[in-house]
Amino acid sequence: MATRQSLFLINFCKQLNTIVQDRCKDRVISMIRMGYSTVSNIDQTYIPRRTVMYVPGHDPKKLKKIPNLGVDCAVLECEDGVAINMKVQARKNIREALEYLIVKNVDLALRVNSCSSQLMEDDLGAIIGSDIGEPAKVERLPQTILLPKLDHVQELVTFTERLKSVKLNRKYCPYLITYVESTQGLMNMRDIMKQAAKYSEEGIFRMDGVVFGSDDFVADIGADRTSDAKELIYARQKIIAIAKAFRLQVIDMVHVDIEDLEGLKRTSIEGAKMGYTGKQVIHPKQIQTVQEAFTPSPVKVKWAHELIEGFEQHQKSGKGAFVFRGQMIDMPLLRQAKNILRVVENVHRPS
Ligand SMILES: CC(C)(COP(=O)(O)OP(=O)(O)OC[C@H]1O[C@@H](n2cnc3c(N)ncnc32)[C@H](O)[C@@H]1OP(=O)(O)O)[C@@H](O)C(=O)NCCC(=O)NCCSC(=O)C[C@H](O)C(=O)O
Ligand SMILES: [Mg+2]
């Protein structure tokens, strides 16, 4: 028969269990409210964007090259790659290009101008809406929209309202990738991502990534651009941390010296090791180097497969940690190995 003390102990344990469960539930709810995703990336559709290449909209010759570039993401550019007096022509060319371009395994994206430029509305009206002719079928619209220089939540609200109005009742839900290009944008990034997560839940767009606009960022902080990018390290790191908290892809800075392929290789590998999932590209010469840097090597893939196999075997025999190729392996290493395989499974290698 249970004594008074043991009954007290049983009750105490039950109450403790309830408190712990409630605390846990509260934490999950508050994380969702804060905008953080609790689901693993592994279950989401993954569009590889190792190379994010700008193709200026004013240049039809360059636009025609898109199917043969071999990039993951081709950006139909309306912003800084297009002179102010060529914006109207660029919009026309892009609309035409969207009709004739046939691409396989390429994310066809549109970079509009920033909200602060007051050109964004006309970009969306002309290319997505009906400002210059019959609205295009959903299959002919860009799969992804890139929104640069996003400094404040209010700008995302303005963009979203305009996007809603140019959808014209079509079922169009593009991926959205936004840019951090200033100290304001960096400071407000978390709030902007929270708002973007809300709009994604409403089905207006699918928030999918963040780009580090390093050149504009350098100008904003008044730094000198150096080859090892020391002046950018804080922003470069912080953007990864926030983007990953929201389970987003994160695209690294552009390498403006087109002839410097060594420097491009070094910074690409560095970016990939830091956690970036891809890099901005401006010239065909840069594509192969960047694509390779963001593709796990066959050696790394073999390591990941063998580690996962070893992990599963050790789990069955009741061991959480074990030694593999001289390294202590436990759950974090398993997650790293799975990250590698996720990239490999989703990238399209040339046959
Ligand atoms: C920089 C360029 C203007 C150079 O163009 P061009 O003078 O034509 O170069 P080449 O003669 O060496 O080109 C060789 C061939 O390759 C084709 N080419 C070149 N660039 C592209 C491209 N981007 N897309 C498609 N095809 C391209 C040429 O047509 C030549 O073809 P052929 O004649 O048949 O041999 C040009 O590269 C360019 O415009 N690049 C993009 C510039 C741009 O969009 N910049 C803005 C994006 S970067 C950014 O915004 C950073 C970020 O926001 C931040 O703040 O950090
Ligand atoms: Mg920029």
Domains and CATH numbers, the chain: 51-294 (3.20.20.60), 298-348 (no CATH)
Strands 327-329 and 322-324: antiparallel
Quote the crossing angle between the two packed helices 153-166 and 189-201, to the nearest 10°.
Answer: 30
Which protein residues have a CB closer than 5 Å to ligand 2 (ion)?
181, 213, 216
pLDDT-derived band of residue 20, with 50, 70 and 90 as boundaries? Answer: very low
Q: In the numeric block, which tokens belong to residue 54? A: 């700008």
Identify the weakest region by mean pLDDT among 9-13, 16-20, 44-48, 279-283.
16-20
Residue position matching structure tokens 């580090």: 212
Which residue has the CA at smallest separation from atom 28 of ligand 1?
62
Q: Say what the pTM is.
A: 0.88
Asked whether the beta carbons of 153 and 188 are under 8 A apart, the reply is yes
ipTM for this prediction: 0.99
225 lines ligand 1 (CB under 6 A): no
231 lines ligand 1 (CB under 6 A): no
Q: In the numeric block, which tokens belong to residue 70? A: 């071999």
**Max Cα-Cα span within the chain:** 91
Which pLDDT tens digit goes with each residue over 98-156? 999 999 999 999 999 999 999 999 999 999 999 999 999 999 999 999 999 999 999 99
Quote the crossing angle between the two packed helices 214-221 and 233-245, to the nearest 10°.
Answer: 130
254 lines ligand 1 (CB under 6 A): yes
Kindly state the average pLDDT of the residues 219-241.
Answer: 96
Q: What b/e sequence results for 281-307 when a residue is b if at least 16 CB atoms lie within 10 Å of its CB, and e otherwise?
A: bbebebbebbbebbbbeeebbebbeeb
Q: In the numeric block, which tokens belong to residue 340? A: 């590698």
Probe target for ligand 1 pocket from 283, 287, 288, 290, with the most ligand atoms within 8 Å of CB:
283
CA pair distance 142, 127, nearest whole angstrom = 9
Give me the active site residues, please: 330
Q: 14 or 224, which is more confident?
A: 224
Q: Give φ, ψ of 71 to 5 degrees.
A: -100, 160
CA pair distance 190, 34, nearest whole angstrom = 9
Q: Give φ, ψ of 77 to 5 degrees.
A: -90, 125
Which pLDDT tens digit goes with each residue over 65-96? 999 999 999 999 999 999 999 999 999 999 99
Asked whether the beta carbons of 148 and 156 are under 8 A apart, the reply is no
HSE, side-chain direction, 13 A CA sphere, residue 18: 6
β-strand partners of 279: 51, 252
